[in-house]
Every structure is written in structure tokens, then in C-alpha cells.
Structure 1
Amino acid sequence: MNVCVYGAGAIGGLIAARLSATGIAVSVIARGDTLQSLQQHGIGLTEDNQTRFYPVTAISAPDNLGVQDLIIIAVKQPSMNPVIKQLKPLIGEHTRVLLAMNGVPWWFFDGLPGAPADYLLNTIDPLGDLREFIPSHQVIGCVVHLAATARSPGMIQLSMGNNLIIGEPYGAPSEPTLRLGKLLEKAGFNVKISPRIQQDIWYKLLGNMTINPVSALTRATADRILDDPLVNQLCCKAMREALEIGKLIGCIVEQTPEERNVTTRKLGAFKTSMLQDVEAGRPLEYEALIGVVYEIAEKLGKEVPYIAALYGLIRQLDNSQRQTD
């Protein structure tokens, strides 16, 4: 089986290490210090207070790999589009592409019963051409419910959780998705195969679309955000707007915003990924988390003032950060 992982950060590195541990030959596309570390040592993975290294073939570009059976993309949305356009030589008729990313993907409306007629999402697919590079019937969506960090280039630490939800845009899983589920289970993950992966994406989005931008704007950890009654209330109101959008497109979430925030608060004083990106001076992953929600609301003719305010503010922060850089 030919497996290629693009993105050897926390999630991509974790999946690559676990697959390598099962004996599968894994290629990893990386760059800079990460590429050098992988070539010298393999991927280091720390879990249960033990660190082990797993062999991978680390390369800087996909040119000589040939067609793959499975491609795993684990990069953030600002890097997603150029990455996808580099992978066309790796994709054959039977290739499946697992997208382990936060937020709403470009194929979100494909196969969704409540999708509007205008199914293109310009915030994350501005040229409307990503389906030309990865046809939607070859996509396997992946919702990640675990916490891992890249402590240094090529060194991954699993902090908590172990759950992956996978599924196809068009609903019921096909045989390749069922096989992938078994492979990921063999690699040590708790895997759920979803009949409607868009609903699972929307569920996770509800927390990310508020806590992430608020943390970036305030530089506050999640506990401080949720312990402030005014900020907590702001998050809840934006989440209620997203819940209403979800009902209209067939992604119904039964959990209330208050219940969701109680669950998040139990995770303690963690820094969101967007806050970490602000501190590191990296581009912010806001379009897939909140920009696209605002775009969907516009397509449906729904007023979403709290989502609009968060979107406008985080967009300005990103613009300011890019100008500073």
C-alpha cells in the first residue's frame, strides 16, 4: 500500500508515525528543519511517557512518488489550496484522499441535502477549482478529536484524546473508507465511520469558530474566555446563529452552546491553535472556521451579527499581522 502524508505537524506526524508502526511504508512531504529531522531520525512520537521513532521516507516534493493508494493531508487552511494543486500527479482513479483539517472544507455542500444551489465556497476555494484536483468522490473527510503538539521538528507528543471520525461527502461509506477505518484502528486510533460527515464537521466547528478567534483577539486561554460571563455570552450567541444555519442545511446539532462551553471549560487553560499561530506570527486559519460560516449565512439570506463581528475582527487582526511581517 502506497501512503503519502503531506504535513508532518502534530496531526499529520501522529498519523504517519502510527501507520509506520503497523509496518506500512509511509512517505512524508516536509520541508526545512522538519524534512532534515525526518530524514535523519524518522518521526518521533511521545505517548504514555514513552518516545519512539518510526521510519518514513521524507521528501521535499511529490514529483517522484507516483500514484498513491492513500494521501493524508494535514495542513491548515491557509496552506491547503497550494498543497492540493501539487498533489495531482499522486492521484489515480482509485486514490483516496483523507483530509484531516479543522473547519469547513470546499466540498462541504457536495451530497448535502440542504445545500443551496450555489455550492461554491469562495472563502476557502476562491477560484472554484479544487474539485478539478481532487474529485469529491475520492475525498474522505476526517474530524480529529484529540490533542497533539509538535514539540520540535519531527517530534510529536499526544496530549489527550484518540478519536477520529471519517466519512464521505455523499453519505454512506464505500469499501475504501471501510478499509481505511480498519487500518486506522489497527494503527491505534478509536475510529467512528460517519454516514454524514458534514454534521460531524459542523459539530466540531461550533466550538472552534468562537473560542479560536476570541483567543487570538484577546490572547486569553480558553479557561479565561469561558470564565468571563460577558465573553462566554458572546460565544454562545454566535454559536446559536451557527446552530440555526446548521438546521437549514441539514447539519442539526442537539447540544446547546452552554453545554458545549461547559465541556470545553473542563479542558482547562489551553491555548487554541489560532492563539499559537498569532504568537508565532503565522497566517491565521480563520476563513475555514468562521469566514465560511458567514458566507453560508449570506447564501441563505440569514442575518448573523455576532458571527459577522467576530469574522470582521479576526480578519483585521490577520491583515495587521501580515503587514507587520
Structure 2
Amino acid sequence: MVQVMQQREKGPTICVAGAGAIGLTLAARLMLGGYSVGLIAREDGASFIRKNGLRLVDKDGCYHLQADVGVAAEFKRADILFLCSKSHDLPELAVSIRHIISSSTIVIPVINGLPWWYFDGVNGNWDGAQLHSADPSNVLKRIVPSRQIVGSTTLITAERIDRGSSTTFNPLQMTLGELDDRVTPRLGEVMSVLEKAGIVTRVAPRIRDAVWTKVVRNLISNPLTAITGATLRENFADEFLAGVSGQMLCEVLPVVRAYGASLETDPGSIMELGQKMGDVRTSMLQDLERGRKLELATICDAVIELAQAKGIAMPVIHAISNIAHYRDSREQKAAVEASVVNQAYANRPENVPAQR
């Protein structure tokens, strides 16, 4: 493990909100690029990283960094703000960091699934329709000004090892785009920052095409691997699982077209790329194994919501989504029950330390 003392250069004030696998990886790479980065985490995660540092293992090496980490209230402003939480945690996160967003802050949601901003910026309409599955209480649209959002997608297969460590061995890639698909100076600014951090970055001609391409990749792999426990290689190499993923792919393509979008890559190559990712456990499988809530709302439910609005049937996607929801609810219930039992045990008189 290489101890890294960063040479900080003058540049934008950057905050990364969310200390999951993607947030830790992004923060570490930005720090290695020489930028001053504030990492926003929950109190337990922030305490852990203050004590143990931030660790990253990627294809370039092993790094141990001293991060400027804290809870949201400890940070005052950001020129560039990356939102890296799970999509279902975004409303709570947005409330906690609203004071950081000034009128000039560039907000980049780095999230899975269909984003809450999907209908904003289209044909000059910055108050587009609500995507209920992604933002059921409209909190995100109220707090995060759509004109300040730069859309993004990532191709980063990272895994969080502990509260301050992540690992990733595939190339790090991001795609950026304005919500109205204009090419603006701030896109170049953010692209330059990411490139210097070692993240291959491009600007999408149509950001929603990039979003759908990522959504489709997640949709045909994440819920299915959560159910089966398969890695990406296994999911797309096994004839039975690949058959299910292939059917899901066929079902979602009419929805993509119905909303005037198209995939940026040939559908068949999506299956091939998934297999080439190797024995990577999807983020949804990792979450299930750790008893965390699954990102089904934006990856599955939002797609189903849009399909139903256009009268498009997706029976296999619906079935896989329902089974994944069952697994999720069962695991969440088990986690709650285990917590109650552990707390009851800890509170038994013989387990309570004597007062001296």
C-alpha cells in the first residue's frame, strides 16, 4: 500500500457526497489528480476514514490517502458537487447538502438507474414531468436546480471493502452531458478535472442515450444477479441466465425507442461486454449480501413506470423485478429482526457493564 501525500493544486472546490464504492473511488482518484476534495459521509463512516484513511486499490496500484472527510454540515460550499449515494438515499442526502449548493455549483449525480431529472431540459422545458419512482416526494427537483445539473453515467465496477476502502480493476470511464444536450464550457471544465484524475471521460451528444445504455446494462444484470448470486461473467456466459437477460433486453428496447432515445451501442455487444467484465459482483448483489436496500426503484420500477405510460408490456422484466423486490424485503426484514435480537441481548442485565 502506497502512502500518498498529495500535491494540491489550485482549482475548483470539489465535494463528493456519499462514501460508497463509487464515492470512495471517485474521491480517491480526484485526490490523486491533485485536487482538494471534501468527502461527505455519515458520521460512522467519517470517523472510520479520519482514523484509518482512505484506501484505493485499482489497476494502477494501491493507495492510502488522508482525506478531508466529514458529515454534510462540516462543509460550506462546492464549485463541483458529485452526488454518489444510492438512488433511494438521494432525497435524504439532498436535504443534508442543500446549503452547499450555491447558484454557481455544478451538480453531477453519479447514480444508477433512470434519474429524477430525466424530463427536465427537454425542448427548453426545465420543469419537466415527474418520474415518480425516482423522486416520489419531489424532493430532488425542489432542492437541486435542474439548470445546474450535468448529467452523467459511469462504467466503474468498484467494490467497497470496508467503510474507507474500495477496489476496482477495470478501466474507469464516465460520460457527461448537459440536460438540454448543449455543449458548454462547464462540460470541458469537469471533463478536464476527471481526465486529470485518471478517469476516461467523454461528452455524449445526447445524454439520455447514454443514460439508457447504462440503465439497460443494469436492468438486464443487477436484479437477476441479486436473485441468483451470479457474477457478471457467469450471468452472461451461462445459457440459462443469458437467455433471461436476452429476453429482458428485447423487452426494454421498445421503451427506449418510445421515448425518442436509442442505445449508444449495439444491443448484442451489451451482453458481450457484461461477460468480459469478468467475475465482478454487481452492486445490487453486493448490497443484498450485506443486507442493504436494493436500488430497484430507479433500475426496475422507473423503467416499468415509463413502459406502462406507453402501454408496453414487459412480462419477464416485471417478474424478475418482483422476485428481486421479494428478496429485498425478506433480507430487510431479517436485518431488522437480527438488530432487535442483538439489542435485546445487549440490554440483558448480565450483559450490561456494572457502574463503578
Please indicate, yes or no, whether the TM-score normalized by the shorter chain is above 0.5: yes
Matching residue of 1:185: 195
1:70-104: CA deviation from partner (whole Å, max 9, x where unpaired)? 11111111212211121111111101111111111
Q: Is the 8 A contact 2:221 2:232 kept in 1?
A: yes
| Counterpart secondary structure, 1:5 | strand
What is the deviation of 1:222? 2.8
Partner Cα distance (1:171, 1:189) in 2: 22
Matching residue of 2:320: 310
Partner Cα distance (1:178, 1:118) in 2: 26
Q: Is the 8 A contact 2:13 2:79 kept in 1?
A: yes
What is the deviation of 1:112? 4.1
Does residue 78 of the first structure (1) align with residue 93 of the second (2)?
Answer: no
Match of 1:11 among 22, 30, 45: 22
1:185-220: CA deviation from partner (whole Å, max 9, x where unpaired)? 112211101132111111111121021111111222
Q: Aligned residues, how many?
A: 322
Percent identity at matched positions? 28
What is the deviation of 1:4? 1.3
Matching residue of 1:53: 64
Does residue 199 of the first structure (1) align with residue 195 of the second (2)?
Answer: no
Match of 1:102 among 112, 133, 149: 112
Q: Is the 8 A contact 1:5 1:27 kept in 2?
A: yes
Q: Is the 8 A contact 1:184 1:191 kept in 2?
A: yes
| Pair member with larger Rg | 2
Matching residue of 2:246: 236
Matching residue of 1:211: 221
Match of 2:31 among 16, 20, 29: 20
| Counterpart secondary structure, 1:156 | strand
Matching residue of 2:50: 39
Matching residue of 2:99: 89
Match of 1:149 among 146, 159, 172: 159
Match of 2:288 among 278, 287, 292: 278
TM-score relative to the length of structure 1: 0.91
Q: Is the 8 A contact 1:123 1:288 kept in 2?
A: yes
User: What are structure 2's unaligned runs of at least 5 residues?
Assistant: 1-11, 336-356
Distance 1:56 1:24, change over 3 A: same
Matching residue of 2:340: none
TM-score relative to the length of structure 2: 0.84
Q: Is the 8 A contact 1:297 1:303 kept in 2?
A: yes
| Counterpart secondary structure, 1:92 | coil
| Counterpart secondary structure, 1:160 | coil
User: What are structure 1's unaligned runs of at least 5 residues?
Assistant: none
